[in-house]
């Protein structure tokens, strides 16, 4: 069984930001959609990304060795 995927939204992006996001996601093979917002000036970019049931683990670099 593959990982569960959900939509992640980047809201209120300029045209340049939206173009860059779409380009980067497509380079990684991610399904991406771009839609014009109601103000006709900004974009919402939506990417279909994998999600996990477990929360992200904190980076071990920041753990104090004294407390384990």
Residue 15 lies in a domain: yes
Burial 14-31 (b: 16+ CB within 10 A, else e): eeeebeebbeebeeeeee
pLDDT band at 15 (very low <50, low <70, confident <90, very high): very high
Q: What is the reported pLDDT for 67?
A: 65
What is the domain range of residue 18?
5-51
Q: How far apart are CA 57 and CA 14, in angstroms?
A: 32
Max Cα distance, the chain (Å): 55
Asked whether residue 9 is domain-assigned, the answer is yes
The secondary structure element, H or E, covering residue 48 is strand 43-50
Q: Is the pLDDT reported for residue 42 higher than 80?
A: yes
Average pLDDT over residues 21-30: 97
pTM of the model: 0.73
pLDDT confidence tier of residue 52, bands split at 50, 70 and 90: confident
Classify residue 20: in a domain, yes or no: yes
Number of domains in the chain: 1
Is residue 18 situated within a structural domain? Answer: yes
39 part of a folded domain: yes
């Amino acid at each position: 069984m593959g990982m569960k995927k959900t939509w992640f939204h980047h809201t209120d992006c300029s045209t340049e930001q939206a173009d860059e996001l779409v380009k980067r996601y497509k380079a990684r093979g991610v399904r991406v959609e771009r839609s014009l917002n109601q103000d006709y000036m900004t974009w919402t970019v939506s990417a279909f990304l994998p999600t996990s049931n477990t929360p992200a683990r904190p980076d071990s670099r920041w753990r104090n060795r004294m407390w384990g």
